[in-house]
Amino acid sequence: DAGVIQSPRHEVTEMGQEVTLRCKPISGHDYLFWYRQTMMRGLELLIYFNNNVPIDDSGMPEDRFSAKMPNASFSTLKIQPSEPRDSAVYFCASSPGGGNYNEQFFGPGTRLTVL
Amino acid sequence: GDSVTQMEGPVTLSEEAFLTINCTYTATGYPSLFWYVQYPGEGLQLLLKATKADDKGSNKGFEATYRKETTSFHLEKGSVQVSDSAVYFCALSDQPGSNYKLTFGKGTLLTVNP
């Protein structure tokens, strides 16, 4: 069974450009999470979805960031316009929900560099 | 709010040494506790978990016991290997079943030398 798939794995762009990160969660998982990881701030939850509906976007840093989940098998995180301080590794994770614990399965991440 | 505090790294050990990474937490409810591991260039993977007080999670020689009285979930391994070199994250999920957010610690980098 395939895990969480993210694309691209690496992205280098110039300041001011639009960046779109993509995620395919594990089939059957009801929850999808977007995280950002930097040396300074560690792992930060940006937003998460339940059944394609955004539940909590309080971690989204500012209006330049937006996330969508048009269907159960696809989500995007968009940054427009990008800035050098957005450089980080962005992880997508999915979770089946239910049960008495909440394990999340992480993708390999997208390393974003904004010049 | 919920929080997780891990011992700061980096931690450097020789092969076959004993490992302890301390983790304490603050939560309003009765959280589930996790250790995740991140190998270089990869995403996080669940290493072990415990869902209630006094539970012991174990996997790949690693163990951690959920101690409600000390609000701790320390990670231990009796004999580390070079392949254990990675970043280890302690995490909690408060009110499991109703709140699917995980709160992570800052991570502890472990390097094991041959």
pLDDT at A101: 61
Distance from CA of A71 to the nearest CA of B (A): 20
The tens digit of pLDDT for each residue in B46-63 reads 999 998 899 999 999 999
Distance from CA of B36 to the nearest CA of A (A): 10
Q: With an 8 Å Cβ cutoff, are B43 and A95 in contact?
A: no
Instruction: Enumerate long-range contacts of A46-54, CB under 8 Å, 24 or more apart.
Output: A46/A77, A47/A77, A48/B100, A48/B101, A49/A75, A50/A97, A50/B100
Is the separation of the CB atoms in B107 and B7 below 8 Å?
A: no
Measured in whole angstroms, the distance separating CA B20 from the mean position of its chain's CA atoms is: 10
DSSP string, chain B: --EEEE--S-EEEETT--EEE-EEEE-SS--EEEEEEE-TTS-EEEEEEE-STT-EEEETTEEEE-BTTTTB--EEESS--GGG-EEEEEEEESSTTT----EE---EEEEEE-
The tens digit of pLDDT for each residue in A52-65 reads 999 989 899 889 99
Rounded Cα distance between A106 and A109, Å, is 8
Rounded Cα distance between B6 and B91, Å, is 10
The tens digit of pLDDT for each residue in B20-38 reads 999 999 988 788 899 999 9
Kindly identify which residue of chain A lies nearest to residue B44, measuring between CA atoms.
Answer: A106
Rounded Cα distance between B32 and B100, Å, is 11
Residue B85 has pLDDT above 80, yes or no: yes
The tens digit of pLDDT for each residue in A89-115 reads 999 999 887 765 668 899 999 999 999
The tens digit of pLDDT for each residue in A2-48 reads 899 999 999 999 999 999 999 999 999 999 999 999 988 888 999 99
Q: With an 8 Å Cβ cutoff, are B104 and A31 in contact?
A: no
